[in-house]
């Protein structure tokens, strides 16, 4: 109680908090020490990551041949009947960025006085011509066109650019399709001969292919509370079809980003930001908050993939690499568990230390202190146990071809220790010439293709919140009804939230990475029909 009182007292004296503020914080389920810590972060700033060098093939990134992937995949298939598998898909984000250039077009296009070509030239817009050239290839084209015809009586007498304007307006209108405000997961992505599929359906299908044990597959979506009904409706409509086709029972569950992970906003002077009613403003903590959702799951192996990274074709190839990553995970886990069990039973011998240390360094990328050999045997055992008794993640990495996204780097922390991390460019001091040079030399980037093990060698779940680097979040600048504010986003789910996990990076083909960042990405071959069902 004394600590809470001191924290409350400090918030009153330093930031002018009132009883109404404390009631609001309590309703959010947020601990006062968390508020105090976040306000301190705004004052001190977040230290940038210190890059030692990019992770590359044979220096932090494992490269396997297709035969080796087949071998690892077969190993996973051999072991999976004894395991509970689950796929975890963060899916709460709205599709606003996907349609950003079209929303800007609607806001700025003067239909009375210019053509779309004139607008494109005026704005030097490179995205709109691509959208219009491929408009008939979008899976939602026919449905929206039909709606436009019913809304515009003289549709057939309109000029081509006027038809395009009405198409885009209807697609984004809150009265009709409202695509920019819906979650990506429920939008039409793929046109098959017999039907049109959403990402939700594609994830169900993928899940049945590689996250199935004993003909049962588990899929978990994190969703916004106000969008859960949309997800449930799609699952209800397609689940039986996918189950029949794959001879798999699919169990689908949902969770929300906890309100207690929201973070407090401040003004540009780092004082609590208040709305027009004088209330504190809280913002979602970013996808790093989902470590709590992941922490609540019960599974032996968890596949993590973004909602928009689905493919219309080549599902068998995708399956090979996902199973291959899982096989690598299980092989390493077996070896780790054998070592920890031997230590736990006091059967670990001193002459085994050298081989274990070599395994840690060469296979798990764990750096060992230079003076390790001077440790006592008991101290060596304690060091090994501390380093190995952690959750494990095997992360697919694709060759860097200019796509946005975090990259794999060797990072040095404040104590001088090196570790493998997935780093976003915003976490790096790009004004530092040396750091910027290292950042620019990354050979790979992270497609969010992870396979995780979250239980220890005794079968107990780890508390994943204990393996977060709380110093690696993000400060972002936003606007609230015309007023500038600063927000704090928690360490990203695959960045700081997993910073203290055992980490293995494996190169996977670009084929496995097919995100839909803008609507035009749906025109790429991975999302265009070859009329497979």
SS3 per-residue string spanning 380-413: HHHHHHHHHCCCEEEEEEEECCCCCCCEEEEEEC
Domain that residue 65 falls in: 51-95+184-515
65 shares its domain with 28 = no
214 shares its domain with 228 = yes
287 shares its domain with 198 = yes
119 shares its domain with 254 = no
Say if strands 60-62 and 418-423 run parallel, antiparallel, or are unpaired: unpaired
400 shares its domain with 287 = yes
Establish if 64 belongs to a structural domain. Answer: yes
- What integer pLDDT is reported at residue 3 of this predicted model? 47
Distance CA 495, CA 419 (A): 12
Q: Hey, how many other C-beta atoms are within 10 angstroms of the C-beta on 4? A: 11
What is the pTM (predicted TM-score) of this model?
0.93
Of 197, 198, 141, 150, nearest in space to 171 by CA: 141
Establish if 527 belongs to a structural domain. Answer: no
Please classify residue 431 by burial: count the beta carbons closer than 10 Å to its beta carbon, then call 0-12 exposed, 13-18 middle and 19+ buried: exposed
> In a structure prediction context, what are the per-residue pLDDT tens digits for the chain, which is 533 residues long?
444 468 898 899 899 999 999 999 999 999 999 999 999 999 999 999 999 999 999 999 999 999 999 999 999 999 999 999 999 999 988 899 999 999 999 999 998 899 999 999 999 999 999 999 999 999 999 999 999 999 998 999 999 999 999 999 999 999 999 999 999 999 999 999 899 999 999 999 999 999 999 999 999 999 999 999 999 999 999 999 999 999 999 999 999 998 899 999 999 999 999 999 999 999 989 889 999 999 999 999 999 999 999 998 778 889 999 999 999 999 999 999 999 999 999 999 999 999 999 999 999 999 998 889 999 999 999 999 999 999 999 999 999 876 656 799 999 988 888 999 999 988 999 999 999 999 999 999 988 899 999 999 999 999 999 999 988 888 988 888 888 999 999 999 999 999 999 999 999 999 999 999 999 999 999 999 764 44
The CATH number of the domain holding residue 348 is 3.90.550.10
348 shares its domain with 448 = yes
Q: Tokens at residue 386, please?
A: 């501390």
Q: Tokens at residue 301, please?
A: 């192996």
Distance CA 208, CA 303 (A): 12
Establish if 531 belongs to a structural domain. Answer: no
Establish if 524 belongs to a structural domain. Answer: no
Q: Collapsing DSSP states into helix, strand and coil, what is residue 262?
A: coil
Establish if 57 belongs to a structural domain. Answer: yes
Block residue for tokens 């999302």 = 527
333 shares its domain with 468 = yes
Give the residue ranges of DSSP H helices in 315-453: 315-344, 353-362, 377-388, 433-440
267 shares its domain with 118 = no
Single residue among 124, 150, 181 that ends a domain in this structure: 181
Q: Hey, how many other C-beta atoms are within 10 angstroms of the C-beta on 457? A: 18
Distance CA 140, CA 147 (A): 11
Distance CA 248, CA 209 (A): 9
113 shares its domain with 217 = no
Single residue among 181, 204, 239 that ends a domain in this structure: 181
Establish if 525 belongs to a structural domain. Answer: no
Single residue among 123, 158, 181 that ends a domain in this structure: 181
Establish if 528 belongs to a structural domain. Answer: no
318 shares its domain with 215 = yes
Please classify residue 162 by burial: count the beta carbons closer than 10 Å to its beta carbon, then call 0-12 exposed, 13-18 middle and 19+ buried: middle
Are 515 and 309 within 8 A, CB to CB? yes
55 shares its domain with 136 = no
- What integer pLDDT is reported at residue 530 of this predicted model? 62
135 shares its domain with 199 = no
Number of domains in the chain: 3
Establish if 255 belongs to a structural domain. Answer: yes
């Amino acid at each position: 109680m004394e600590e809470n009182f001191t924290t409350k007292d400090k918030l009153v004296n330093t930031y002018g908090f009132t009883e109404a503020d404390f009631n609001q914080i309590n309703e959010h389920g947020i601990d006062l020490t968390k508020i105090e810590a976040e306000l301190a972060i705004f004052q001190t700033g977040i230290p940038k990551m210190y890059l030692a060098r990019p992770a590359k093939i044979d220096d932090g990134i494992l490269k396997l041949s297709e035969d080796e992937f087949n071998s690892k995949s077969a190993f996973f298939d051999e072991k999976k009947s004894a395991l509970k598998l689950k796929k975890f898909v963060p899916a709460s984000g709205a599709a606003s960025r996907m349609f950003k250039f079209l929303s800007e077009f609607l806001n700025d296009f003067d239909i009375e006085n210019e053509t779309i070509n004139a607008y494109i030239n005026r704005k030097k817009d490179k995205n709109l011509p691509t959208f219009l050239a491929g408009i008939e290839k979008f899976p939602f084209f026919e449905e929206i066109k039909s709606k436009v015809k019913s809304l515009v009586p003289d549709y057939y007498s309109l000029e081509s650019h006027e038809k395009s304007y009405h198409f885009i307006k209807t697609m984004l209108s809150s009265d009709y399709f409202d695509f920019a405000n819906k979650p990506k997961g429920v939008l039409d992505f793929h046109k098959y001969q017999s039907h049109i599929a959403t990402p939700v359906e594609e994830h169900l299908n993928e899940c049945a292919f590689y996250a199935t044990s004993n003909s049962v597959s588990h899929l978990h979506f994190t969703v916004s509370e106000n969008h859960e009904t949309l997800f449930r409706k799609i699952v209800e409509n397609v689940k039986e079809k996918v189950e029949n086709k794959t001879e798999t029972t699919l169990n689908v569950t949902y969770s929300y980003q906890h309100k207690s992970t929201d973070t407090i906003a401040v003004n540009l002077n780092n004082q609590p930001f208040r709305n027009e009613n004088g209330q504190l403003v809280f913002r979602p903590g970013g996808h790093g908050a989902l470590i709590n959702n992941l922490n609540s799951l019960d599974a032996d192996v968890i596949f993590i993939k973004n909602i928009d990274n689905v493919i219309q074709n080549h599902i068998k190839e995708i399956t090979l690499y996902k199973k291959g990553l899982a096989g690598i995970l299980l092989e390493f886990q077996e070896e780790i568990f054998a070592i920890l069990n031997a230590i736990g039973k006091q059967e670990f011998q001193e002459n085994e230390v050298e081989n274990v240390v070599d395994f840690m360094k060469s296979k798990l990328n764990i750096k060992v202190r230079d003076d390790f050999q001077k440790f006592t045997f008991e101290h060596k055992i304690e060091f090994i146990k501390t380093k190995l008794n952690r959750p494990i993640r095997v992360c697919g990495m694709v060759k860097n071809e200019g796509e946005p996204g975090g990259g794999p780097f060797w990072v040095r922390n404040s104590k001088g220790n090196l570790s493998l991390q997935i780093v976003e460019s915003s976490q790096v001091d790009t004004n530092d010439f040396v750091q910027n040079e290292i950042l620019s030399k990354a050979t790979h980037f992270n497609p969010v293709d992870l396979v995780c093990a979250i239980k220890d060698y005794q079968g107990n779940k780890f508390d994943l919140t204990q393996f977060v680097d709380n110093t690696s979040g993000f400060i972002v600048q936003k606007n609230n009804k015309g007023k500038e504010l600063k927000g704090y986003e928690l360490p990203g789910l695959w960045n700081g939230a997993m910073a203290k996990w055992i980490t293995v990076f494996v190169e996977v083909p670009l084929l496995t990475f097919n995100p839909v960042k803008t609507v035009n990405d749906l025109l790429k071959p991975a999302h265009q029909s070859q009329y497979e069902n």
